[in-house]
Amino acid sequence: MFDSQTCIPYTIGYMVKHNDHKRGEPNTKARKVIKMSIGSIAKIPEMIDDGRYCPEVIQQIDSVIGLLHSARKELLKGHLESCLAERLKTDKEGSIKELLKIYNM
């Protein structure tokens, strides 16, 4: 069965599953931040159901966005430092296309 969360590049599931950086060591910082964001996302419907004050819900959403930005930066940093550095040696054109896709260009 096709699982879009673990098969499509640049989705959270894919990033968590494919996060080997720095000589095969998992990017544990990014994984921890992603897990925190998942927990924070889960709280949002509860907050709405509980009738929490709208700015509190908005603040929770902003927190999730910030966590995901942090995870993205950490994953990108690891990718640039290890994966991409190695790939540039063998496939410069593919590496450039990959970076352009990451940056939505």
Domain boundaries, the chain: 4-74
Assessment of whether the complete model's pTM goes beyond 0.75: no
Each of the 105 residues of the chain gets a pLDDT tens digit; together they read 434 444 445 554 555 455 444 555 677 889 999 999 999 999 999 999 999 999 999 999 999 999 999 999 998 888 888 888 888 888 889 888 888 888 887
Task: Quote the pLDDT of residue 22.
Answer: 54
Question: With contact defined as beta carbons under 8 Å apart, do 33 and 74 qualify?
Answer: yes
* Other Cβ atoms within 10 Å of 47 Cβ, number: 16
Sign of CA dihedral 11, 12, 13, 14: positive
Query: d(Cα 20, Cα 33) in Å, to the nearest integer?
Result: 16
Query: d(Cα 56, Cα 44) in Å, to the nearest integer?
Result: 10
